[in-house]
């Protein structure tokens, strides 16, 4: 099984020995924010240092979707299908309305400017959860150096009334986040302090409260190695498919590594898409890859 590393035999049922890793496009600077639009059969993704959102489709290949785009990072869709984008430079969450206009959803907390929202997920109740490390305002390359005003929090935003609460405040650098398929769990990556010699880097596990509005920490879920977990997604069985320095790691709900899809460049984020939500799209440094799997991306309840 070329390009696959089987750690646990259960991984064999989630991958396809005859499905190649396909290079869809390259020549980017740093890819992030993949989000699949099933109704349009296309992928949107961020090319952060080039300050643009790109679009890929089987029929049309790659084209610029928006530029400038505020140095975009993580992206998702809300319950109405609208695009939600983290913006480093503008230090906010943006929503692209169905008519194409862009709304700033939030750029402040208690009067202070957000740092540089990194990744975002929408829960089935419509609430928007996002991480806010300072990575995008510490370097010009990813958004422009700016002064930090807030700690590195993870927030829950209710877009109906604009209310926002801190759901986790003890991260060095909160990054990717993902709910389990039943939304009883929330996984959040900590990618540590930028420029630190030995930064804290792992995925933490949280239980979601019964009212769905807060979380309780249960400690470290998994430490990805080599490299670290940046963005990740769950499949229907609750496995976590995480980015890593050597590709994609598939981790079962107990935290055990099942296997890897090896990729020539570091993967920063990924998402399931395609007709059956079984095709993994990989934002891998300067290259966009895809690979068909035998798993299916989780759908929200
Ligand atoms: Mg990230």
In this predicted structure, what is the pLDDT of residue 1? 64
**C-alpha of residue 171 to centroid of ligand 1, in Å:** 14
In this predicted structure, what is the pLDDT of residue 199? 87
Number of domains in the chain: 1
**C-alpha of residue 242 to centroid of ligand 1, in Å:** 11
Within a domain: 85: yes
In this predicted structure, what is the pLDDT of residue 134? 97
- What is the distance between the alpha carbons of residues 300 and 297, in angstroms, rounded to a whole number? 10
In this predicted structure, what is the pLDDT of residue 223? 97
Domain interval for residue 106: 4-292
- Structure pTM? 0.97
**C-alpha of residue 176 to centroid of ligand 1, in Å:** 5
Within a domain: 114: yes
Within a domain: 262: yes
Within a domain: 267: yes
Within a domain: 298: no
Within a domain: 121: yes
Within a domain: 297: no
**C-alpha of residue 268 to centroid of ligand 1, in Å:** 7
Where the chain has pLDDT below 70, the residues are 1, 301
**C-alpha of residue 75 to centroid of ligand 1, in Å:** 10
**C-alpha of residue 99 to centroid of ligand 1, in Å:** 28
**C-alpha of residue 245 to centroid of ligand 1, in Å:** 13
**C-alpha of residue 25 to centroid of ligand 1, in Å:** 20
CATH classification of the domain holding 51: 2.120.10.30
**C-alpha of residue 3 to centroid of ligand 1, in Å:** 24
**C-alpha of residue 232 to centroid of ligand 1, in Å:** 9
In this predicted structure, what is the pLDDT of residue 36? 98
Within a domain: 300: no
Report yes or no: 72 and 89 within 8 Å, Cβ to Cβ. Answer: no
User: Which distant-in-sequence residues (6+ apart) come within 8 Å of 78 by Cβ?
Assistant: 84, 95, 122, 126, 128, 159
Q: Give 117-159 pLDDT, tens digit per residue.
A: 999 999 999 999 999 999 999 999 999 999 999 999 999 999 9
Q: Give 91-114 pLDDT, tens digit per residue.
A: 999 999 999 999 999 999 999 999
136: alpha, beta or left? (left if phi > 0; alpha if psi -120 to 50): alpha
**C-alpha of residue 173 to centroid of ligand 1, in Å:** 10
């Amino acid at each position: 099984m070329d390009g696959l590393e089987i750690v646990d035999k259960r991984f064999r049922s989630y991958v396809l020995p005859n499905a190649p890793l396909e290079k869809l496009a390259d020549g980017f600077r740093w890819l992030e924010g993949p989000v699949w639009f099933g109704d349009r059969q296309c992928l949107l993704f961020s090319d952060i240092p080039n300050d643009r959102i790109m679009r890929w489709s089987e029929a049309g290949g790659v084209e610029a979707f928006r530029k400038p785009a505020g140095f975009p990072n993580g992206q998702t869709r809300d319950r109405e299908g609208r695009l939600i984008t983290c913006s480093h430079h503008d230090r906010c969450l943006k929503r692209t309305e169905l008519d194409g206009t862009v709304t700033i959803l939030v750029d402040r907390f208690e009067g202070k400017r957000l740092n540089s929202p990194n990744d975002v997920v929408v829960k089935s109740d419509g609430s928007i959860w996002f991480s806010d490390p300072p990575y995008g305002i510490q370097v010009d390359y990813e958004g422009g150096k700016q002064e930090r005003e807030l700690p590195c929090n993870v927030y829950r935003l209710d877009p109906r009334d604009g209310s926002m609460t801190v759901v986790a405040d003890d991260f060095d650098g909160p990054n990717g986040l993902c709910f389990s398929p039943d939304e009883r769990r929330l996984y959040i990556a900590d990618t540590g302090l930028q420029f630190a010699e030995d930064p804290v880097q792992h995925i933490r596990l949280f239980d979601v409260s019964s009212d769905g509005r807060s979380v309780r920490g249960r400690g470290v879920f998994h430490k990805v190695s080599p490299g670290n977990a940046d963005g990740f997604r769950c499949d229907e069985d609750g496995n976590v498919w995480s980015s890593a320095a050597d590709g994609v790691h598939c981790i079962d709900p107990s935290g055990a590594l099942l296997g890897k899809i090896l990729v020539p460049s570091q993967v920063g984020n990924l998402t399931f898409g395609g007709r059956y939500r079984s095709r993994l799209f990989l934002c891998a440094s300067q290259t966009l890859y895809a690979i068909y799997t035998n798993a299916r991306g989780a759908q929200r309840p």
